[in-house]
Amino acid sequence: MPTHAEIRHATDPDSVRRLDTQGLRAQFHVGDLFRPGEIRLVYSHYDRLILGSAVPEGGVLTLDAVPQAGTPSLLDRREMGVLNIGAAGTVTVAGQAHEVGPGEVLYIGLGSGPVSFGGAGRFYILSAPAHRSCPTRLIRKEDARRVELGSKEAANERVIIQFLHPEVAESCQLLMGYTQFAPGSVWNTMPAHVHDRRMEAYLYFDLPEDARVFHFMGQPEETRHIVMKNEEAVISPPWSIHAGAGTGAYTFCWAMAGDNVDFTDMDMVPMEALA
């Protein structure tokens, strides 16, 4: 059966200014993602990014037709990145089974056909439109690019682990990786920045049940926040800042699509401009 995706429409900054907490969450917050035995997808009108999950629970789940994509098979005009945040699992593409371990990413190129998920994995799915095919590739943690940033004094000691990145694995336009914090560090991406040339999506995970991350968004002069629990995602518009602070250390997966695949393509926002 086709897999249906929930649609999230793009929203302009002036409209977001008028939203209350529930309205803000309805537009940008993505909860209840990882349901056992299900594939769940959200189709964002920001850069047409699809984000979602597959939790096979020892069985097999197959992702093929998604009506919102407008093609017989989802990857007919798209590429995909899959991050496993659970135990070891299997992702099968074009008849080849890939054993994807915890914290590893599988890139799947345009035109690859149906994708099946099996084993004990908890798979986070990201898909963006593509105009060329790049090779399907499993990227293990030791193959990723690591960038260490921050300090204990600023409570932002962290490592950025880049998987779908021009220096690691070729993709058409999808960039993807995750950031891990050292114990005692809680702040990410501060000073904040924006990049009108591409949107982002975040999945927050590795949080205890009683922990929270405050995800900051909005225009620099009109900041807002969304409270995030473990294994919840948020859609970040191109016009919005994105930063966060947690009640303890955490991990977040970042992904982006748009006009530029340069990870450092950003417009910094001075601290004094935030309000």
pLDDT tens per residue across all 275 residues of the chain: 789 999 999 999 999 999 999 999 999 999 999 999 999 999 999 999 999 999 999 999 999 999 999 999 999 999 999 999 999 999 999 999 999 999 999 999 999 999 999 999 999 999 999 999 999 999 999 999 999 999 999 999 999 999 999 999 999 999 999 999 999 999 988 787 777 778 999 999 999 999 999 999 999 999 999 999 999 999 999 999 999 999 999 999 999 987 666 666 777 778 887 88
CB atoms within 10 A of CB 59: 11
Rounded to an integer, what distance in angstroms lies between the CA atom of residue 100 and that of residue 88?
Answer: 6
| Domain extents in the chain | 5-273
The predicted structure's pLDDT at residue 273: 78
The predicted structure's pLDDT at residue 98: 98
pTM for the model stands at: 0.96
Kindly state the tokens that stand for 189: 């991406």
Rounded to an integer, what distance in angstroms lies between the CA atom of residue 245 and that of residue 155?
Answer: 9
CATH of domain 5-273: 2.60.120.10
* Residue 9 vs residues 4, 50, 173, 243, 266: alpha-carbon distances, Å: 16, 12, 21, 22, 24
The predicted structure's pLDDT at residue 196: 78
The predicted structure's pLDDT at residue 262: 66
The predicted structure's pLDDT at residue 263: 64
Rounded to an integer, what distance in angstroms lies between the CA atom of residue 74 and that of residue 67?
Answer: 8
The predicted structure's pLDDT at residue 179: 96
Tell me, rounded to whole angstroms, the distance of Cα 190 from its chain centroid.
19
